[in-house]
Amino acid sequence: MSNPNDRANGGTFTFAFDKPVNLESMTFLDTESAPKITLTFEDGSTEVLFGPEVADGAQALFTFNKEKVTQMKIRLKESGAVDNIKYNTCEGGGNGDPHIKPWDGER
């Protein structure tokens, strides 16, 4: 008989994005100890963050607000889960600013 359960001794989630993303937030569930988050950026640099310790059966929103992320690794020391990863891609626009789109309207 099967007894499904999370992995008590943790593990690593690796997210590799096809294009750089602006990483906004994610939800951690039941982590019980601070997850180690390693972000890799478009220029090859990395940044290490630590997520929230979340009690058994609870969840917490973690906000990143990081731009040009190409990979995210999340190392859980114990059991836990991630959900609701929010990010967006920023396509190039006009005048060197990726957020400005050329105006196509009439004058």
pLDDT band at 106 (very low <50, low <70, confident <90, very high): low
Q: Is the pLDDT of residue 3 over 70?
A: no
State residue 56's pLDDT score.
Answer: 84
What does the alpha-carbon distance between residue 33 and residue 35 come to, in Å, rounded to a whole number?
Answer: 6
Torsion of CA 27, 30, 34, 36, to 10 degrees: -60
Q: Is the pLDDT of residue 93 over 60?
A: no
pLDDT per residue as tens digits for the range 9-50: 788 999 999 999 999 999 999 988 999 999 999 999 999 999
Q: Is the pLDDT of residue 54 over 60?
A: yes
pTM score of the predicted model: 0.77
Mean of the per-residue pLDDT values of the chain: 84
End-to-end CA distance of the chain: 71
Angle at 27 between CA 51 and CA 48, to 5 degrees: 25
Q: Is the pLDDT of residue 73 over 90?
A: yes
Mean pLDDT of all residues in 72-96: 82
User: What's the token pair of residue 13?
Assistant: 């989630």
What does the alpha-carbon distance between residue 28 and residue 106 come to, in Å, rounded to a whole number?
Answer: 48
Those residues with Cβ within 8 angstroms of residue 95's Cβ, 6 or more apart along the chain or in another chain? none
Q: Other C-beta atoms within 10 Å of 4: how many? A: 4
